[in-house]
Structure 1
Amino acid sequence: MFKRFASLQWKSFFRSANFGKSLAVKILMGFFAVYMLVVLAASGAGMYFILRKAVPDQSPMWTLSQYLIYWVLIELFLRYFMQKLPVMDIKPFLTTPVKKSSIAHYILGRSAASMYNLLSLFFFVPFCIVLLFQGYSGINVFLWLIAIMAIVLSINYLNLLINKSDKALAVIGGIIVISYALDYFGIFSVKEVFGPIFHGLYAYPITVLVPLVLAVFIYYINYKFLHDKIYLDSTLKPKKVQANTSDLAWTKRFGDLGTFLQLDLKMIWRNKRTKSQVWISLLFVFYGLIFYTQEIYANMMPMKAFLGVFMTGIFLSNFGQFIPAWDSSYYSMMMSQNIPLRKYLESKALLISVSVIFMFLLTIPYAYFGWEALAINFGCALYNLGVNIPVILFFGSFNKKRIELDQSPFGNMQGTSANQFLIMVPVLIVPILIFSLFYYLFSVTVGVTVLCVLGLIGLVLKNTLMDKVTVQYRKKKYGMIAGFKEKNS
């Protein structure tokens, strides 16, 4: 039965009317996936030597074991955004003599074959091979790898249970931040508590039974949940959804823009895919810590320009590149009403502007690493406000692919086209090149000044630029409407 289900899913994929439309994007993402697997395999093979050099007085296995608790928490946190829940059109099977247990096992089996489980496999298998060549016990290494893969499956199935809960996401994120802070400031060593536990999976092979039992237990909970939900009449019951309402009265002070702004805020808060953009933007505020704390990047000013553009403009990029596809389900209705297109676009620009300013304020603490960091972030934020906002709105006029807001936020290529890749050139690469040119010819001050001047020019010419963007949207209006009507695009 499992083979038959797989065959049907395979035929459904290739016979889809939409298969050929995004073939180029699928191929490109395939190359990225292969690249990621190669990088992970190389990282796993080199991890033993990296750890031995970084902490020469400890066994690499012991050092790695201390950080595995963070790996578990971070992977669980990231999977909330990235891993798509296993879906299958089961309605046709509910009127046939197909066992519900077979359907449930197939859905969970497909989840076990997830790409995200494969990523862990490509990292830990090369690491184990190196351990064998370094004289580690073969049986211990093999059973340790089995335990790690059982943990991966436990994370996979636990994610299926908590994926719909924002509270669970907040709890996991809070645990990660608090644990790291306790370790970093020397208040309490989380690593010393969990290090021996994970190292015990290698030192005492019998302990492999613990993660195996845990994986089976979580699998069984998922199975019972799915088995109890697979009923034909359950799909006929009207859904009862408790709406979380807010009048957002403060948006009225923006006049005509307030109505559009209120709709955008409600859309962002009520839909998982849009809300995830907010969480990701906040998460990437900490991205600078990866570079500012490394001496190798201390004098790499172009890298700091990249961080400035990226951190202050992360919401601009993630949310702005899909304008107006976020409204695709009702875009044709909007365009048939007496709604000023200019006001609609200005409301999007206002929302993104607020995000850029807010993200810049969150990056102010990076001044701890020097005034250049603060100055570059300020210049990049100003450039984002004056130049990148009109640019990304202009490119939005080429979006013709529909987005279903109730779909999973990541691992989801819905709404993606070549436009999303091309837009990174003017938004991300151009300001870095401009800053780098004036930095190498003159100084950091001149580079930041040029970015600020360009941003101010863009703000002064805001009305002119928005007029041109509006004209472009009017030209592309009917093409966008036709594109948004095509579902699964």
Structure 2
Amino acid sequence: MISTFFKHELKAFWRSKNTGKNLAIRIIMAVLILYLFLNMLVVGFFMDTVLKKVFPHDALIFSFCGIILIYYLSELFSRLQLQELPTLRVQPYLQLPIKRNSIVGYLALTALFSVFNLWPIILFFPFIFKVILHDAGGLVALAFIISILGISIFNNYLALYIKRKSNLNGWIFLIVAAVLVLIGLSDFMWHIISIRNISYLFFGNLINHPVLALVPVLLGAGMYYLNFLYLKQNLYLEELSTKKEKYKSSTEFPILNSFGATGDLVANEIKLILRNKRPRSALIMSLFFLLYGLIFYANPGMKNSDAPRVFVGMFMTGFFIINYGQFMYSWQASHFDGLMVSKISFTNFLKGKYLLFTTVSTLAFILTTPYVYFGWRILMIHFVMYLWNLGVTANIVLYFANRNAKRIDLSKGASFNWEGVGATQLMLSFLLLLPPFVIYVPLKFLGYPNLAFALMAAIGVIGVFTRSYWIKTLEADFYQRKFTITEGFRNK
């Protein structure tokens, strides 16, 4: 039966109306993956030389054992972002007299066909055959091979399990991602723990006790069985996409109730972000850009320059507005016609967008306050750019959103996905970066940098307090382009 599934998958691919486009994307991705494979193979072959240079005072095998867990933690984070769920491809079979075990087995098998499962083989196996086999013998080398394969399988099914649970509750994904980031910071920045020592605790003992290789195998088998049971119990689409009636969604936000209909719209949009891959990726990228300041502020050459601080402050407090907002209506393209004929006021619709921007940008500003460590002036510039983003950037983004009629399919992944991207987005990126420097550079040249910041803050505040005017203007502009936008969203 599994071979039949494979044949049907191939026929579905070649008979699709988007075969040419999908084939071109797959060829480009295949070339990129092949290039990465070659790079990984070179790193794997010369890993002993690399480890000697990076850890000159440690034994070679100790260094190798120490980096394995670091690799798998970073790989798990990457899997959560990039690995696809083989879930919806079996829709037509759910109503046929086919054993559920066959369908679940097919899903489990196709989950193993991931490039992530090849990375550790290419990266670690050359070192195992080149060094461990020579120094510790064939039995130890075999134990390392089995352990690495076992952990890869465990990571594979753990990532899939987390992503499937995240489809029901988006907070699960954010919590897991935050835990992984905190683990990394606890080692490399705060030095509270040592991932290398924890990694060596297992793999170092593996040298003397090869039977420990069974532990990763059992973990991988256990995670596979957990996925198997979860899919078997929740195989039907309605069970995988909705919650039971008696449970209340954890993505309800009582604080938004005070905003009435606008709050309901924002709550629904937050759910859209947390439950779908590409908008969720925009949120996560915004969180990552909060670390952007470390690149500039830790550089001694940037200590007395305000221009990079303007750029960094604008990006860190407004990246979500820019990255998510440029596709503002496209995220809801699949049900946009329904929104247009519903009782929802478009004024409230726009107010919801502004409220979402304000909430995320305010949170971003709060999270960047630790940069005060590098000086109070940095915090002041961040606050100025925060006001600028709320009063100016948000208006520009929504203006250009009225000129984007390209739909986005939320069911598709975020990696190598250029759906909805066009010339409008390129123009928007340029126009958003230019205005702050049009104000700052001339006044800085005249010797009044503080006046420049005061002027930018004042413009931002004026933009916030005149928001009702901009909402009316944007609403009138939208109604002039309404039919072009809705027609564009209908084109699949």
Tell me whether the two structures share a fold, i.e. TM-score over 0.5.
yes
Alignment of 1:61-460 (within 5 A): 61-93=61-93, 100-121=100-121, 123-124=123-124, 139=138, 144-163=144-163, 164-165=165-166, 166-167=171-172, 170=175, 173-174=178-179, 177=182, 180-181=185-186, 185=190, 189=194, 191-201=196-206, 206-227=211-232, 240-241=244-245, 242-244=247-249, 251=256, 258-269=260-271, 271-273=274-276, 278=283, 281-282=286-287, 284-289=289-294, 292=297, 307-336=312-341, 341-371=346-376, 373-403=378-408, 407=411, 410-411=414-415, 413=417, 416-418=420-422, 422=426, 425-426=429-430, 430=434, 446=449, 450=452, 453-454=455-456, 456-457=458-459, 460=462
Match of 2:85, SS? coil
Distance between the aligned counterparts of 1:316 and 1:337, measured in 2? Answer: 26
Q: Are residues 188 and 424 of structure 1, via their aligned partners in 2, closer, same or farther at CA, if it must alter by over 3 Å?
A: same
Q: Are residues 248 and 302 of structure 1, via their aligned partners in 2, closer, same or farther at CA, if it must alter by over 3 Å?
A: same
Q: Contact 1:82–1:409 at 8 Å: present in 2 too? A: yes
Distance between the aligned counterparts of 1:292 and 1:237, measured in 2? Answer: 44
Distance between the aligned counterparts of 1:237 and 1:442, measured in 2? Answer: 57
* Distance apart, 1:56 and its partner CA: 1.5
Match of 1:400, SS? coil
Deviates most, 223-232 or 151-160: 223-232
Q: Contact 1:360–1:381 at 8 Å: present in 2 too? A: yes
Deviates most, 355-364 or 292-301: 292-301
For 2:17, the aligned partner's letter is A
Superimposed CA distance per residue, residues 355-409 of structure 1 (whole angstroms, 9 cap, x where no aligned partner): 223211210101213446435534543443343222322232244344566x476
* Unaligned residue ranges in structure 2 (runs of 5+): none
Distance between the aligned counterparts of 2:229 and 2:253, measured in 1? Answer: 41
* Distance apart, 1:158 and its partner CA: 1.6
Q: Contact 1:25–1:418 at 8 Å: present in 2 too? A: no
Q: Are residues 485 and 228 of structure 1, via their aligned partners in 2, closer, same or farther at CA, if it must alter by over 3 Å?
A: same
For 1:153, the aligned partner's letter is I
* Bigger relative CO (Cα 8 Å, ≥ 6 apart): 1
* Distance apart, 1:351 and its partner CA: 2.2
Superimposed CA distance per residue, residues 404-455 of structure 1 (whole angstroms, 9 cap, x where no aligned partner): 66x476448495433686267327764798799789x959984x86577456
Q: Contact 2:330–2:420 at 8 Å: present in 1 too? A: no
* Distance apart, 1:155 and its partner CA: 0.7
Q: Contact 2:72–2:155 at 8 Å: present in 1 too? A: yes
Determine the structure 1 residue equivalent to 2:57.
Answer: 57
Task: Give the % identical residues.
Answer: 29
Distance between the aligned counterparts of 1:336 and 1:348, measured in 2? Answer: 19
Determine the structure 1 residue equivalent to 2:488.
Answer: 483
For 1:272, the aligned partner's letter is R
Superimposed CA distance per residue, residues 271-317 of structure 1 (whole angstroms, 9 cap, x where no aligned partner): 51256655554454345446655779878977655543332123213
For 2:392, the aligned partner's letter is V
Deviates most, 384-393 or 142-151: 142-151
Q: Contact 1:399–1:419 at 8 Å: present in 2 too? A: no
Q: Contact 2:283–2:320 at 8 Å: present in 1 too? A: yes
Distance between the aligned counterparts of 2:343 and 2:100, measured in 1? Answer: 51
Superimposed CA distance per residue, residues 106-155 of structure 1 (whole angstroms, 9 cap, x where no aligned partner): 222221112443455554467668x6599766855675355324312211
Q: Contact 1:251–1:261 at 8 Å: present in 2 too? A: yes
Distance between the aligned counterparts of 2:377 and 2:48, measured in 1? Answer: 36
Q: Are residues 280 and 107 of structure 1, via their aligned partners in 2, closer, same or farther at CA, if it must alter by over 3 Å?
A: same
Deviates most, 421-430 or 291-300: 291-300
Q: Contact 1:380–1:452 at 8 Å: present in 2 too? A: no
Match of 1:84, SS? coil
Q: Are residues 224 and 354 of structure 1, via their aligned partners in 2, closer, same or farther at CA, if it must alter by over 3 Å?
A: closer
Distance between the aligned counterparts of 1:84 and 1:168, measured in 2? Answer: 14
For 1:353, the aligned partner's letter is T
| Count of paired positions | 479
Distance between the aligned counterparts of 1:368 and 1:66, measured in 2? Answer: 32
Q: Contact 1:43–1:123 at 8 Å: present in 2 too? A: yes
For 2:85, the aligned partner's letter is L
Distance between the aligned counterparts of 1:30 and 1:451, measured in 2? Answer: 48
Distance between the aligned counterparts of 2:437 and 2:45, measured in 1? Answer: 35
For 1:326, the aligned partner's letter is W
Q: Contact 1:40–1:123 at 8 Å: present in 2 too? A: yes
* Distance apart, 1:323 and its partner CA: 0.8
Q: Contact 1:65–1:199 at 8 Å: present in 2 too? A: yes
Distance between the aligned counterparts of 2:264 and 2:124, measured in 1? Answer: 47
Q: Contact 1:154–1:214 at 8 Å: present in 2 too? A: yes
Determine the structure 1 residue equivalent to 2:9.
Answer: 9
* Unaligned residue ranges in structure 1 (runs of 5+): none
Q: Contact 1:154–1:215 at 8 Å: present in 2 too? A: yes
For 1:313, the aligned partner's letter is G
Distance between the aligned counterparts of 2:479 and 2:242, measured in 1? Answer: 39
Q: Contact 2:151–2:216 at 8 Å: present in 1 too? A: yes
For 2:162, the aligned partner's letter is I
Q: Contact 2:440–2:452 at 8 Å: present in 1 too? A: no
Superimposed CA distance per residue, residues 173-213 of structure 1 (whole angstroms, 9 cap, x where no aligned partner): 34752674378555555543332313445676554333233
For 2:225, the aligned partner's letter is Y
